[in-house]
Structure 1
């Protein structure tokens, strides 16, 4: 199925608990995989405004993730440190590897990248820098503190 990204609405927002929402306030996604009717994995064309992050630093227990930089410059932050990524560069994050990662736009211009991830049931995401765990259930992601208590 042909998809013209210009015809896909750009969405912002997050289902993170309120205290973490500001981190991704400048993230805009076009859900290309959903537009194509994909069920097993998602593909997003994501735009990050200057100063914004792709997510809180995290890693998944069951989901593989892959990113490809389309335009601009982003800083990839992992347990190993920071790496500047520019157009044409990519990175992959295998499921079950406890190496938190996220992207930060520290430049003065928007950056665009493709993010691809599978939709494996019962996935969990750990956020090593904050008191947050996410669990995927059939209704979507549920966020708790690391002790299992829910955010209000």
Structure 2
């Protein structure tokens, strides 16, 4: 058995940005237009969990208000003052603050309501068969057998 070549450590800011800013179908993709993701874990071929460095410009959202059926998520605020919306609660976060979102927990997302960029480290597991629900939007996401996310309306019709 031959060992795979492991990538060398790099600066997180040197990691390439995700080519497609959002996987959401329109009109939802436009809501996260000011978000930039650098998928850090993918650089090292991590399979069990994902790690992203997220930059939120002023006025942007990290994601739509959502909850996962199987995936746990964790964030660590590196810079800026993002606003966490969790369930019906709103809380301004600051550098050094952390938050976790267990699967099937309260729906959540971050907004940058400040006038400066926010930088957040995001970690999530890659539990098979995860589904994402969006309580405020006509959208649901199911992980297909191909391992990719498939977006549908809540009645099951696919987005085109």
TM range (shorter): over 0.9
Is residue 115 of structure 1 aligned with residue 145 of structure 2? no
Is 1:143 aligned to 2:154, yes or no?
A: no
Q: Which residue of 1 aligns with 2:94?
A: 86
Contact 1:70–1:87 at 8 Å: present in 2 too?
A: yes
**Secondary structure of the residue that 2:141 maps to in structure 1?**
strand
The structure that is strand-richer by fraction is 1
SS of the equivalent of 1:6 reads helix
List runs of 5+ in structure 2 lacking aligned partners: 1-7
Distance 2:107 2:25 in 1: 19
Pick the aligned partner of 1:100 from 102, 107, 123: 107
TM-score (norm 1): 0.95
1:139 shift after superposition? 3.6
Query: How much has 1:126 moved relative to structure 2?
Result: 0.3
- Relative to the length of structure 2, the TM-score reads 0.90
How far does the alpha carbon of each residue in 1:32-85 deviate from its partner, in whole angstroms, 9 at most, with x for none? 101121110000010000000000000000000000000000000011310000
Contact kept, 8 Å, 2:151 with 2:159, in 1: the verdict is: yes
Which has the higher Rg, Structure 1 or Structure 2? 2
Whether the 8 Å contact between 1:3 and 1:32 is mirrored in structure 2 is no
Deviations 1:2-41 (A, max 9, x none): 2321321123511111110111000001111011211100
Alignment of 1:31-50 (within 5 A): 31-50=39-58
Count of aligned pairs between the two proteins? 151
CA contact (8 A) 2:84 2:91 kept: yes
Contact 2:21 2:37 in 1 (8 A): no
> 2-side partners of 1:6 and 1:101: how far apart?
26
Runs of 4+ in structure 1 off by over 4 angstroms are: none
Q: Distance in 2 between matches of 1:3 and 1:95?
A: 31
Q: What is the distance in 2 between the residues matched to 1:24 and 1:80?
A: 20
